[in-house]
Amino acid sequence: MTSIYDMIQEKENEMAILREQVSGLQAEIEALRLAAGILEGRIGAQTAGPVAVRTAAPGDKNRRVWP
């Protein structure tokens, strides 16, 4: 039988994973918006600032990392 404390820990771990996924999706969306702006001519390529790079977590060998 699983204790309530184990269940709490498991749910907290799930939340941490979901937060990481949301953060990654937000970074990808921002990169896509920047790329769309460049393609549409609203943003010059030379004015685009540095972009934070996310590293893959250990064990995510097949996961693609986008800047």
pLDDT tens digits, residue range 46-62?
555 666 666 666 666 66
Tally the domains of the chain: 1
Q: Residue 43 is part of which domain span?
A: 1-67
Q: Are 65 and 56 in contact (CB under 8 A)?
A: yes
Provide the pLDDT for residue 18. Answer: 97
How large is the average pLDDT for residues 9-31? 96
User: Which value, in Å, is the radius of gyration of the alpha carbons in the chain?
Assistant: 18
Q: Using the structure block, give the residue that is written with the tokens 């990169």.
A: 31
| Alpha-carbon gap, residue 35 to 4, rounded angstroms | 46
Amino acid sitting at position 1 = M
